[in-house]
């Protein structure tokens, strides 16, 4: 390692260590050694110290232990030694820096100095888990942490847009010459936030610990690694987390020190200034430190240096296109024109056709486009009919393709899509219109994306877009018939009526022993994969993450245990799991990776089960929040008494049917009850307990076990009379 770099990193580490020490002493004096400290919503304490050292820091005194360890890592001042600084010393300084930065930021939380204005601050476990799925399915190829400020606001925006277009998640912060890229983006009106893939962490270099202690948690959450397996955690981030640092402006000692920390995690640093480069080191996959002065080339250079695999589909439309724009909203002030929602009637339909009936690439607009609207008209009816043909296409795949339309529309910068079928709602922004986007382009997008993602089953795609009221009304009648037929067919499908289940192994890249076994009546625990989805996915890509499991001999119809499922799960879980029952939370339950929409937990004293969904941040009667529960359930391990599930599983006839089904359910957040609405009401009627929903407590009734018990006894909840769970 370059001598200059190493010396700078060590100097920076010392500055940061001194700051940590002073801050710690101040806090000890003012709050005492037993004062509680911690970041919000995490089960990993100080994550970096937890992963690397196995420490569970909860008090100031314990933070002192981390500090002492970090101090021990700090090499002597370069001038105190007569050697050329070598790699090891700078890397140790980097680790010391990360540990000290974590101490400083957690103390700032104690003093309510974090999060900084307009910044996210510490990244919670919830965010980690909910983005996990995007990492596994490749929608998000990697992360960039930007530190500093670009020479101009335009350059800042251009760099960020280039990253967004490649679907790379961007953390922005730190400063250079008193300017932060956060303010450059704000001044340029760039929308930030998790939905936009641009997350401001803080305006100083120390807060760059947030993306790093977020990344290290993925090793424990998804990699099945334990706290304290430091080397393995670092190796994991190097191999699995495609992150890199991009410094804009002068690289000072603090940035070198933090950069040395990042390099330990396998994350290279790319700078726009004249720094000494560090060629392949073995710590990172390729170069560790490189420079690139050309802002047009800097993003491709980052991607190359980190080895990020990006799939960019260049679609010939006048606005940017990519997953990073998926969460962007088009608000009323920005609205040029909308379709559906409350404003007009709209629908979208994918329909299978015989190959001879359609012409690939034919995109027809019947009616006016949005540049032909009379002044003041801001809404049009819209019917989108997508006809698809393909030798391997099946009628069952129509709804699967149709569900993707939401993404395909939203990827357009300046287009917002909500809903589906005949309840869709599309908005086009003024900016997008000004750049030349027209309704017809939406057809181009859909045609290209269906070919791109479903090339294996779709040979021909023809699109007709209707914008005249009478056409939309006429086509809508036909579309509604199709929706109704589909629902009927899917509703009738049961685990007994099929001879094959499917596996989903997509999460194995994070939780190496985890498998979801998906049946018609049990969705994957992330809620994103139904039996039909996995069936289609297998037909589309037989070597992909979904495999058929022929049912064969049933060992136990009540618990839902099949010899073939056991054999398959054992084989694919690296022999860590032997028995897998589909319908029980207590007897050999399914494993949980970390992506679960909901977690269920047995409450022994109530002889029942509670369930909490990801969006509920409050306390639950088992004494843990969703986040804490998630921390103890994930990682691909079988945990009897706990189970991660998809929301819609609650409305399945096979919902923990071995354990008493819905009759066991004693607590759930109000919002979840409302979300499942009619479907849940129908189920409780079917099982002959029409008033069960009122007997299931929610957070307005009970958040402790005592309150819960009182309520259950008062309403005579059926769980109290069921056979014991264990």
- Point out which residues bind ligand SF4 (CB under 6 A): 133, 504, 506-507, 516, 524-526, 528-529, 593, 595
Q: Where does residue 698 fall: left (phi above 0), alpha (psi -120 to 50 degrees), or beta otherwise? A: beta
Q: Which is nearer to ligand SF4, 544 or 641 (by Cβ)?
A: 544
528 binds, options Zn ion, ligand SF4, none, Cβ within 5 to 8 A by partner type: ligand SF4
Q: What letters, b where the CB count within 10 A reaches 16 and e where it falls short, cover 559-576?
A: bbbbebbbebbbebbeee
13 binds, among ligand SF4, Zn ion, none (CB under 5 to 8 A by kind): none
The pair phi, psi for residue 544, each rounded to 5°, is -80, -155
Closer CB to Zn ion, residue 514 or residue 717? 514
Within 326-485, strands assigned E span 335-340, 346-352, 363-366, 379-380, 382-389, 415-418, 425-429, 460-466
Q: Of the two residues 472 and 643, which places its CB atom closer to ligand SF4 in the complex? A: 643
Q: Smallest distance from the beta carbon of 507 to Zn ion, in angstroms? A: 3
For residue 435, give every residue at least 6 positions away whose Cβ sits within 8 Å of its Cβ, in sequence order, or none.
Answer: 318, 319, 414
Burial of residue 639 (CB within 10 Å: 0-12, 13-18, 19+) is: middle
Task: Residue 661: name its binding partner from ligand SF4, Zn ion, none (Cβ under 5 to 8 Å by kind).
Answer: none
Q: 220 φ, ψ to 5°?
A: -85, -30
Query: Whose Cβ is closer to ligand SF4: residue 142's or residue 634's?
Result: 634
Judged by CB under 5 A, which of 6, 131, 593, 668 binds Zn ion? 593
Q: What minimum distance in Å lies between the beta carbon of 531 and ligand SF4?
A: 11
Least distance from ligand SF4 to the Cβ atom of residue 489, Å: 22
CB of 505 to Zn ion, least distance (A): 10
Residue 524 binds: one of Zn ion, ligand SF4, none (C-beta under 5 to 8 A by kind): ligand SF4
Shortest distance, position 593 Cβ to ligand SF4, whole Å: 5
Q: Which is nearer to ligand SF4, 172 or 526 (CB)?
A: 526
Strands 363-366 and 425-429 turn out to be unpaired
DSSP state of 471: H
- From the list Zn ion, ligand SF4, none, which binds 504 (C-beta under 5 to 8 Å, kind-based)? ligand SF4
The most distant pair of C-alpha atoms in the chain lies apart, rounded to whole Å, by 86
Choice between 630 and 693, CB closer to Zn ion: 630
Nearer to ligand SF4, 153 or 638 (CB): 638
Q: Which does 529 bind (CB under 5 to 8 A by kind): Zn ion, ligand SF4, none?
A: ligand SF4
Q: Cβ of residue 572: shortest distance to ligand SF4, in angstroms?
A: 11
Spatial distance between the Cα atoms of 453 and 135, rounded to a whole number of angstroms: 17
245 binding partner (options Zn ion, ligand SF4, none; Cβ < 5 to 8 Å by kind): none
Mark the segment that binds Zn ion (CB under 5 A) among 68-76, 484-492, 585-593, 667-675: 585-593
Which of Zn ion, ligand SF4, none sits in contact with 598, Cβ below 5 to 8 A by type?
A: none
Choice between 211 and 635, CB closer to ligand SF4: 635
Distant-in-sequence, close-in-space partners of 666: CB < 8 Å, separation ≥ 6: 603, 606, 608, 609, 610, 696, 697, 708, 712, 717, 719
Do strands 169-173 and 143-148 pair parallel, antiparallel, or not at all (unpaired)? parallel
Closest CB 667 distance from ligand SF4, rounded Å: 24
Least distance from ligand SF4 to the Cβ atom of residue 450, Å: 22
> Which residue, 203 or 572, is less far from ligand SF4 as judged by CB?
572
**Residue 529 Cβ vs ligand SF4, minimum distance, rounded to whole Å:** 4
Residue 295 or 529 having the CB closest to ligand SF4: 529
Query: Encoding tokens for residue 316?
Result: 């010939």
Closest CA to 577 of 629, 531, 621, 515: 515
Using CA atoms, how far apart are residues 505 and 499, in angstroms rounded to an integer?
Answer: 20
Place of tokens 């004096």: 29
Could you tell me which residues are beta bridge partners of residue 179? 176
> Could you say whether residue 598 binds Zn ion (CB under 5 A)?
no
Of the two residues 115 and 646, which places its CB atom closer to ligand SF4 in the complex?
A: 646
Tell me how far, at minimum, the Cβ of 503 lies from ligand SF4, in Å: 8
Contact 551, 500 (CB under 8 A): yes
Residue 140 binds which of Zn ion, ligand SF4, none (CB < 5-8 A, kind-dependent): none
Helix or strand run (H / E) with residue 162: helix 153-165
Q: Which does 516 bind (CB under 5 to 8 A by kind): ligand SF4, Zn ion, none?
A: ligand SF4
Residue 249 or 644: which CB sits closer to ligand SF4?
A: 644
| Closer by beta carbon to Zn ion, 634 or else 661 | 634
Query: Smallest distance from the beta carbon of 50 to ligand SF4, in angstroms?
Result: 24
Q: Which is nearer to Zn ion, 529 or 655 (CB)?
A: 529
Which token pair is 361? 């690439």
- Shortest Cβ 672–ligand SF4 spacing (Å): 18
Question: Minimum distance from CB of 510 to ligand SF4 (Å)?
Answer: 9
Least distance (Å) between residue 632 CB and Zn ion: 16
Cβ neighbors of 294 (< 8 A, separation 6 or more) are none
Q: Which three-class secondary structure state does DSSP give residue 127?
A: helix
The nearest distance, CB 2 to ligand SF4, in angstroms, is 42
Question: Smallest distance from the beta carbon of 279 to ligand SF4, in angstroms?
Answer: 38
CA-to-CA dists, residue 717 to 306, 664, 695, angstroms: 56, 9, 6
Q: Which residue has the tokens 């079917």?
A: 686
**Which uninterrupted H or E stretch holds 244?**
strand 243-248
Q: Judged by CB, which is closer to Zn ion: 479, or 593?
A: 593
Q: Is 244 in contact with 302 (CB distance < 8 Å)?
A: yes
Nearer to ligand SF4, 271 or 504 (CB): 504
172 binds Zn ion (CB under 5 A): no
Is the distance from CB of 291 to CB of 274 less than 8 angstroms?
yes
Alpha carbon 538 to chain centroid distance?
A: 23
Q: How far apart are CA 148 and CA 207, in angstroms?
A: 12
Report how many residues bind Zn ion under the rule CB under 5 A. Answer: 3
Site string for Zn ion, 357-376 (x = CB under 5 A): --------------------
From the CB of 511, what's the least distance to Zn ion, in Å?
6
Place of tokens 């849940």: 680
Site for Zn ion in 497-536 (CB under 5 A): 507
The SS3 of residue 717 is coil
Which C-beta is closer to Zn ion: that of 157 or that of 507? 507
Sign of the CA dihedral running 405, 164, 536, 583: negative
611, 598 contact by CB (below 8 A): yes
Residue nearest ligand SF4, Cβ-based: 524
Decide if residue 595 touches Zn ion (CB under 5 A). yes
Task: Give the burial string for 152-186 (b: 16+ CB within 10 Å, else e).
Answer: ebebbbbbbbbbbbbbbbbbbbbbbeebbbbbbbe
| Separation between Cα atoms, residue 714 and residue 702, nearest integer Å | 13
- Can you give the binding site for Zn ion, defined by CB under 5 A? 507, 593, 595
């Amino acid at each position: 390692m370059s001598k200059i770099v190493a010396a700078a990193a060590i100097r920076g580490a010392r500055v940061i260590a001194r700051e940590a020490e002073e801050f710690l002493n101040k806090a000890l004096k003012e709050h005492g050694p037993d004062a509680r400290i911690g970041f919000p919503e995490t089960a990993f304490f100080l994550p970096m110290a937890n992963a690397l050292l196995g420490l569970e820091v909860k008090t100031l005194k314990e933070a002192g232990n981390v500090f002492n360890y970090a101090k021990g890592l700090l090499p002597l001042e370069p001038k105190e030694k007569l050697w050329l600084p070598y790699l090891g010393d700078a890397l140790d300084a980097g680790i010391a820096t990360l540990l000290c930065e974590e101490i400083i930021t957690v103390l700032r939380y104690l003093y309510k100095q974090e999060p900084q204005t307009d910044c996210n601050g510490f990244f919670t476990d919830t965010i980690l888990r909910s983005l996990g799925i995007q990492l596994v399915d490749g929608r998000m190829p990697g992360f960039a942490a930007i530190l500093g400020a670009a020479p101009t606001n335009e350059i800042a925006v251009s760099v960020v847009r280039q990253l967004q277009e490649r679907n790379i998640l961007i953390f922005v912060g730190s400063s250079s010459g008193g300017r932060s890229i956060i303010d450059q983006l704000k001044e340029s009106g760039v929308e930030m936030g998790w939905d936009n893939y641009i997350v401001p962490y803080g305006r100083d270099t120390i807060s760059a610990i947030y993306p790093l202690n977020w990344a290290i948690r993925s090793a424990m959450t998804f990699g099945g690694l334990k706290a304290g397996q430091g080397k393995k955690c670092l190796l994991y981030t190097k191999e699995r987390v495609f992150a890199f640092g991009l410094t804009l402006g002068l690289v000072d000692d603090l940035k070198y020190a933090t950069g040395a920390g990042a390099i330990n995690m396998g994350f290279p640093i790319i700078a726009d200034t004249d720094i000494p480069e560090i060629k392949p080191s073995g710590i990172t996959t390729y170069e560790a430190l490189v420079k690139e002065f050309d802002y047009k080339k800097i993003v491709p250079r980052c991607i190359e240096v980190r080895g990020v695999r990006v799939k960019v589909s260049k679609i010939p439309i006048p606005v940017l296109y990519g997953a990073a724009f998926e969460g962007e909203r088009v608000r009323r002030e920005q609205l040029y024109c909308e379709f559906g929602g409350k404003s007009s009637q709209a629908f979208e339909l994918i329909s299978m056709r015989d190959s001879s009936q359609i012409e690939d690439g034919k995109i027809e607009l019947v009616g006016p486009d949005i540049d032909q609207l009379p002044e003041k008209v801001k809404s049009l009816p819209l019917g989108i009919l997508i006809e698809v043909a393909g030798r391997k296409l099946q009628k069952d795949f129509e709804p699967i393709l149709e569900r993707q339309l939401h993404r395909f529309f939203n990827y357009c910068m300046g287009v917002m899509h909500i809903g589906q079928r005949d309840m869709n709602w599309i908005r086009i922004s003024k900016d997008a219109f000004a750049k030349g986007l027209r309704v017809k382009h939406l057809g181009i997008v859909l045609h290209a994306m269906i070919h791109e993602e479903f090339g294996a089953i779709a040979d021909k795609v023809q699109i007709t877009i209707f914008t005249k009221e009478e056409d939309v009304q006429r086509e809508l009648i036909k579309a509604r018939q199709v929706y109704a037929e589909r629902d009927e067919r899917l509703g009738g499908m049961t685990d007994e009526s099929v001879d094959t289940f499917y596996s989903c192994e997509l999460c194995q890249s994070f939780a190496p022993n985890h498998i979801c076994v998906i049946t018609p009546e049990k969705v994957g625990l992330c809620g994103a994969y139904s039996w039909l989805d996995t069936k289609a996915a297998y037909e589309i890509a037989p070597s992909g993450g979904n495999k058929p499991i022929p049912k064969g001999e049933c060992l136990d119809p009540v618990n839902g245990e099949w010899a073939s499922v056991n054999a398959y799960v054992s084989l694919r879980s690296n022999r860590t799991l032997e028995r897998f029952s589909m319908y029980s939370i207590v007897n050999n339950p399914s494993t949980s990776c970390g992506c679960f929409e909901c977690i269920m937990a047995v409450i022994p004293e109530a002889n029942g089960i509670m369930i909490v969904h990801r969006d509920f941040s409050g306390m639950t009667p088992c004494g843990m929040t969703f986040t804490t529960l998630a921390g103890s359930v994930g990682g691909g391990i079988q945990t009897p008494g706990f189970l991660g599930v998809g929301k819609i599983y609650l409305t399945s006839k096979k919902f923990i049917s071995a354990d008493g089904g819905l009759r066991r359910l004693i607590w759930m957040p109000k919002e979840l009850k409302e979300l499942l609405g009619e479907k849940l009401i129908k189920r409780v009627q079917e099982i002959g307990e029409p008033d069960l929903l009122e007997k299931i407590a929610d957070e307005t009734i009970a958040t402790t076990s005592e309150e819960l018990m009182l309520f259950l006894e008062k309403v005579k909840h059926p769980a109290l009379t069921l056979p014991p769970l264990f």
